[in-house]
Structure 1
């Protein structure tokens, strides 16, 4: 079984960026966004040093005016942070602070990563194999069906489905992954004490049991319009790529596509009727260079190599998502080939099946650009 990144009852201590309380104090300051936080951290070196700075020192940092500087002094109190910490424990929620090993590596590499993530449920190592599925709240029956089916197929292939818990396409994506017995992550704009929309309370509970709910918002944060576009950068940030299904030209899902492009993530769009308002945003994306997809194979074959290989089982290491589409025999043979040159004769000997089947399978893997033949009877994995 994949290893959980942190146990249920432990709030990790930040080793590099300061204590959890200091990070929480800053996260509770109104108006302090992730980019300004980064500027403050670069200037002062640690959360505790930021909190110890004077109003005049704080205003020396770009984007920090008198109002925000005073807010850092008055709102970032230890009492407020301890009260917030009590709320997380009462709700069975964990904190994942940037700078700890538990923090998702993909998210850490975006330009404006969250300082802290509230997590209800569990993150596991294989959640690095994630794809976002987003779209319109006001979708058609076609959109709902396609989102459900695609999420089902992704989950069955071993991909974690990421979406935003919204009505419409998001909800169908979560439901499809759950129906397939797979993992799904809901990135929320609100705090985890406030499920939004309220009719998704049961869905949120199911997601927490088969994945997790994530947010950067404090526990009691109510829905605010500005939080939803900000939330979308996390959906794309923890995903290898993002699929849009039925996004109109004014759909908030297009924000997720823009974030994905800025973060160097793959952007996919599923086509709809050319005369449907619900599909115009997706059709525009395809026209402008997004990858047209019809199903799960199109997504997995188009995703590039992983930054870091994922150990799915003791005998299976995934280096690129296309490997998830392989048959059992193809996967077995592939895992006998390493990133270092391996003799074909050694693969044949270790596979313990007919030589002809091994050689034909290696040819298939070579055609799929998963292995490469070298001179002298050697083969290497991409």
Structure 2
């Protein structure tokens, strides 16, 4: 059977819209990530999964250790859910700074959470905020220092994400000294995210020249980062022993794992195979997360109108943030209408074969944001559903 026939058969008893995760594709993607990581353990970026069952699944596979959470509340939730399970000791790194006073108080009051959760700091202001939430006599909070991994080839030129202000060994060592001398803090890790490599494809379909420029930029940026990060890690280790040095993302595993100063890498999107990761030279993930929309209108020849579908990804506004019609092959969105909140027209020769109630399968541009649209994922293998599991939204939690 074709992939579309398998999907349609597996979900024939369900009404669309619905979302599935193809377990064969998910598992194959996990295996590929481990191979690309070259022996470095992979910390799973939960933001790209947002389904506790799938997090458990991948953490049970060789090569995956720990979770990179996207909020302190999420890390507390996972620590609580896993407290009396084999995942109780899972290391949870909150990869974005928190200003959530209530969550900090919950952390400080939970001895188990204090052992497994680390939070980010890139300035003493983050330490001051924790003290303001908890008082200065709080128990030790695990701290991960974040290094800016962007590329700055010329004065005033910034290529990459706007994250930490810490760039040099001297700046990092100064902050590390401030952390270790402050009561109530323990410096345990260092992380950096090279977004200009990990999250930017160097082989975008139909844009050969742009891809070549991106590829050149990533090569230069990677060389600079490996040298600078190694120096920063050495400077920080002179101040405090580090349990982990984390780097990278799905798009940069080869580069990051080649850096001798890095002890682990991060990845999440590569498990789900979203549209934005189609444009890389080094790897091609399998589309694992898909959603189906029903045909509700046939307004003209070669046009079928689907219900809902306006699941636009975060980031800079552009066509690459729209969902991608996947099956049947040969469909595309209308340029003047795109994907809408209540209807999404698609066009192409295959549209003429579609009847009311038929399904069109689409891919989200990004990995985790699809879970904010659906309460459950149907986990399919071949032409059957193995089980149905809740997303974060289905469990009644939202950490955005």
User: Fold conserved (TM > 0.5)?
Assistant: no
Higher helix share: 1
Higher relative contact order (CA 8 A, sep 6+): 2
Higher strand share: 2
TM-score with structure 2 length normalisation?
A: 0.27
